[in-house]
Amino acid sequence: MSEHNKTPQTLQEWQAMAEALQIEGRAFINGEYVDALSGETRPTFSPGDGRELAQVASCGPEDAELAVKVARETFESGVWSHMPPMQRKKIMVRFAELIEQNRDEIALLESLDAGKPISDTMNVDVPGSVTTIRWSGEAVDKIYDEMAPTGPNEIGLIERMPLGVVAAIVPWNFPLSTTCWKLGPALATGNSVILKPASNTPLTAIKLAGLAKEAGLPDGVLNVLPGPGSSLGKALSLHMDIDCLTFTGSTDVGKTLTEYSGQSNLKRTFLELGGKSPNIVFADADLDKAAEAAALAVFYNQGETCTAGTRLLVHKSIADEFMQKVKKAAARFKPGHPQDPNTVMGALIDKNQFDTVEHYVAKGKEDGAVLFCGGAPAQPVEGGYYYEPTIFTKVTNDMTIAREEIFGPVLAVIEFDSDEEALQIANDSIYGLAAGVWTKDISRAHRMARDIRAGSVWVNNYFGGDITVPFGGFKQSGNGRDKSLHALDKYSELKSTWIDIS
Ligand code: NAP
Ligand code: MG
């Protein structure tokens, strides 16, 4: 389904569509696209070739103030929070349909703004976001509240109530997906939302706001404020009239947001943070399948994935043979033009991220790891920041490249001797977001899945899951849960009403 006659099929056709795009860069408050109160704008760039895509409203604390007032009044009015569930469902399902109908444009905006391959945004980010909004909407009129097993002369009602005003702050690596993971459950439960996209990638969030209105979402329920984390994000996080802060991003900022919550009104703060996920390959695994997945696990989305399988733990007895297979699989991730449908790895988000990758590659060499392949920039397109898929072998888990999140296409390979050692290495991290386990031994698979301290464990696959299962971290990978009905609980308070009928 597309509003365009024909979905572009080639780089040239996507480029032609990009040329013709009318890009909206204004904020969205109370159902209208508006400039920042200061009138300030900042450019957003295309990481693929460095060109400016649009000037975007740069909102600050004064815009936050206005948006909170609007969101609060809208919430109190009951126009959304008290709308009959079936009607709320209809609007959300319609919102999902409009995203689907605008698939080409949204996928292109996401690819342009974030440097992601167009085939990923078309096949993963946009359809996934449609599913998230639709599924959350469809849940609205199917969730029952509870009545407690009290004595005969009392009634104990246990009801989910919306929190009120939710601020969502999202990153640049999966701008559309993380936005929808927050919007779906927050809207479904009747809250009003203020969304702050990452400064690098505001465009799809801005586009979505207009579609939500078109779907019938009442004005003021969804407000989108682009602007800097350091001023706008901070103002939202410290605001006394925001009830919940839902965040995806770095562990450092997550810690700061927790402090802001304590300094202000103890707003519920749900964090989805970084990771350094182990992907463990035992000698009895299907090595061909595991090797393909090991490359995907770390090079998908240029390595800018919080769940990336950045620590590949390989049993000593198969290490040499297996790593030849991984090297072959890695070659498929040659960086290319993000808008070329054949590209599987696009551009790093910006110069900062590129410098970070270079820094860690230098550190890996310095610490004595062996550069097995890659380790250099690539330049498929002038003006963009690209890096070759890079693998270090002979890594030990105390090396910096095994401990810190790089957020680029860099894999650290660590060998192990026994199940116990694999488990010990896997859990020796401040993070606990995800893990992969490759084995044909069902007991070993269950033991590892049980004992690995991570929010998601993938057995004989990597990145598995869909909207029906929760996603989130253990340890310093955060405390939130996106997706599934469990996400809806994060955006609700439980109210107990005790009625004496004697
Ligand atoms: P980040 O700094 O945590 O940014 C995430 C979001 O938080 C952005 O919208 C950002 O706004 C905002 N923000 C920044 N400082 C803030 C503050 N003091 N108060 C409120 N909001 C604030 O992450 P990043 O800069 O995008 O990437 C840095 C590192 O974070 C990456 O290298 C990676 O290690 C990690 N990361 C993890 C994930 C994940 O999904 N787990 C996603 C992205 C990044 P601005 O865009 O305006 O700064
Ligand atoms: Mg951008």
Q: Using pLDDT thresholds of 50, 70 and 90, give the confidence band for residue 119.
A: very high
Residue from 180, 219, 210 nearest 25 by CA: 210
Which of 169, 267, 353 to mutate for ligand 1's pocket (most ligand atoms within 8 Å of CB)? 169
Domain 3-273+478-496, second-level architecture: 3-Layer(aba) Sandwich (3.40)
Q: Using pLDDT thresholds of 50, 70 and 90, give the confidence band for residue 86.
A: very high
Whether the per-residue pLDDT at 452 is higher than 70: the answer is yes
Q: Which of 100, 105, 110, 272 is catalytic?
A: 272
Q: Measured in angstroms, how far is the CA atom of residue 169 from the centroid of ligand 1?
A: 8
18-55, pLDDT tens digit by residue?
999 999 999 999 999 999 999 999 999 999 999 999 99
Mean pLDDT over all residues of the chain?
Answer: 98
193-216, pLDDT tens digit by residue?
999 999 999 999 999 999 999 999
Residue percentage of the chain with pLDDT more than 70? 99
Q: Looking at residue 1, what is its pLDDT?
A: 45
Q: Using pLDDT thresholds of 50, 70 and 90, give the confidence band for residue 5.
A: low
Whether the per-residue pLDDT at 466 is higher than 90: the answer is yes
Q: What is the CA radius of gyration of the chain?
A: 23
Whether the per-residue pLDDT at 2 is higher than 50: the answer is no
Chain region(s) in the chain for CATH 3.40.309.10 = 278-466
Residue 460: CB partners within 8 Å, gap ≥ 6?
Answer: 285, 286, 289, 290, 437, 438, 439, 445
Q: Which ligand is nearest to the CA of 115?
A: 2
Q: Looking at residue 416, what is its pLDDT?
A: 98
- Residue with CA at minimum distance from ligand 1 atom 44: 249
Ligand 1-lining residues (CB < 6 angstroms)? 169-173, 196, 198-200, 228-230, 233-234, 237, 248-250, 253, 256, 272-274, 306, 405, 407
CA distances from 194 to 19, 72, 318 (A): 30, 10, 51
User: What's the one-letter identity of residue 434?
Assistant: A
Which of 253, 403, 463 to mutate for ligand 1's pocket (most ligand atoms within 8 Å of CB)? 253
Burial 175-203 (b: 16+ CB within 10 A, else e): bbbbbbbbbbbbbbbbbbbbbbbbbbbbb
Q: Measured in angstroms, how far is the CA atom of residue 112 from the centroid of ligand 2?
A: 7
- Residue with CA at minimum distance from ligand 1 atom 30: 250
Distance CA(75)–CA(11), nearest Å, equals 45
Domain 278-466, second-level architecture: 3-Layer(aba) Sandwich (3.40)
The secondary structure of residue 143, as a DSSP letter, is -
Nearest atom in ligand 1 to 256's CA? 18
Bridge partners (DSSP) listed for residue 222 = 193
Q: Measured in angstroms, how far is the CA atom of residue 48 from the centroid of ligand 2?
A: 9
Catalytic site includes residue 272: yes
Instruction: Please count the CA atoms within 13 angstroms of the CA of 247 that sit on its side-chain side.
Output: 29
Chain region(s) in the chain for CATH 3.40.605.10 = 3-273+478-496
Are 307 and 463 a contacting pair, CB within 8 Å? Answer: yes
Whether the per-residue pLDDT at 97 is higher than 50: the answer is yes
In residues, how long is the chain? 502
User: What's the one-letter identity of residue 167?
Assistant: A
The secondary structure of residue 3, as a DSSP letter, is S
Residue from 412, 478, 390 nearest 278 by CA: 412
Are 310 and 407 a contacting pair, CB within 8 Å? Answer: no
Is pTM beyond 0.85? Reply is yes
